[in-house]
Structure 1
Amino acid sequence: LLRRSPRARIVNVTSGLGSMTRMTDPRDYFTELPANLGYAPSKSALNHITVQYAKHLAPEAILVNAADPGPCATDFTKDFPGVTRTAADGARIVVHLATLEENGPTGGYFNEAGLVPW
């Protein structure tokens, strides 16, 4: 179905916790978080899958990107202090990437502020 679509897009929902750059930057608060052997590595793997699909599907003009919606007030984050963004706030970057023009980026990792370092 994607191949038959005039503007096919794949948007993988990832997390800033999947950024190895941020997780190892001593200036980033992520380095202070406790180790997480499931969630963070799964998001890093998803980021790499995004790159591989982007390469594979580029000849067919199917854009593939990863979206980091940021922390949103959901059941998943209910115990995290200070999380006030809504799911609608987080969805903005997903919708943006899902509606990119033909010449939009592919194989990228984005949040509302722009490109996220891998």
Structure 2
Amino acid sequence: MSEGKKTALVTGANKGIGFEIARQLGIQDITILVGVRDLDRGEAAIQKLRAEKIDATVVHLDVTDQASIDAAAAFIDQTYGRLDILVNNAAIAVQEWSTPPSQLSFEDLQKTFATNVFGVFAVTKAMLPLLRHSQAGCIVNVSSEMGSLDINSDANSSISRMPPTLAYNASKTALNALTVFFAKELQDTPIKVNSVSPGYVATDLNGHSGHLTTEQGAKAPISYATLPADGPTGGFFGANGQIAW
């Protein structure tokens, strides 16, 4: 199969880090599939991308809805025949700040995992046959240092001193586990799977309290979405290199 122009699917790509990842991939002449729950917001996003001469198409994709995921995979298969890059960016954070783990509601934990873990699993599983058609596919799971057990258990780390956020942090820990096991399954293929933290970026998810811009936060995910053939797989990385699990 001829490599041709690469195609990338970015989930949750209508705003924030997801949009900026899509934009930075697009200016590298990669066809961008903007995965969104809300088609109106998706259309607005692709108009911005097209204004920069980026080849972008909106794809209806609710990561918590299997029928939506299957329809998106079928559309990509019929239209492009393969997928070269999958960026699992879509994520949520419930308002759990300062809530002790014992006081967290089961519903909030379940809701967080439904998007941040089960959604990533379902999307990755559905897109994997398309990634296998790529000469060198890349999967980037957008994670966070807040999911690092090593950092959270280090009394000297700034994250360990933050108010407890069990649902979000545990979801990112579980996401990292998905990275390890998918990478292990695919170790004898050209497909690379990595968890990548964009850092503390100012987004809607954190009330724009982050100190990094979306442009800065997108740099590490972009690097691991466009790895060379000898690039790493099965790791957890950030802008400054490897992050402890």
TM above 0.5: yes
Structure number with greater CO (CA < 8 Å, separation at least 6) is 1
Q: Which residue is 1:91 aligned to? A: 218
TM-score scaled by length of structure 1: 0.93
CA RMSD across the alignment:
1.1
d(CA) in 2 for partners of 1:111, 1:78? 22
Q: Secondary structure at the match of 1:6?
A: coil
Q: Secondary structure at the match of 1:22?
A: helix
**1:10-33 superposed Cα distances (whole Å, 9 cap, x missing partner):** 000001100000001112111111
User: What amino acid does structure 1 have at the position aligned with 2:137?
Assistant: A
Q: Which runs of 5+ in 1 are unaligned?
A: none
Q: Which residue is 1:110 aligned to? A: 237
**1:29-54 superposed Cα distances (whole Å, 9 cap, x missing partner):** 11111221210000000001000000
d(CA) in 1 for partners of 2:165, 2:205? 15
Sequence identity, in percent?
41
Q: Secondary structure at the match of 2:228?
A: coil
Q: Secondary structure at the match of 1:30?
A: coil
Q: Which residue is 1:32 aligned to? A: 161
Match of 1:101 among 197, 217, 228: 228
Equivalent pairs counted in the alignment come to 116
Structure with higher Rg: it is 2
d(CA) in 2 for partners of 1:91, 1:74? 12
User: What amino acid does structure 1 have at the position aligned with 2:154?
Assistant: D
**1:61-118 superposed Cα distances (whole Å, 9 cap, x missing partner):** 21000000011111122263xx331111111011100111111100000000000000
Q: Secondary structure at the match of 2:229?
A: coil
Flag as ranges the 4+ runs of structure 1 deviating above 6 A. Answer: none
TM-score scaled by length of structure 2: 0.46
d(CA) in 1 for partners of 2:206, 2:163? 15
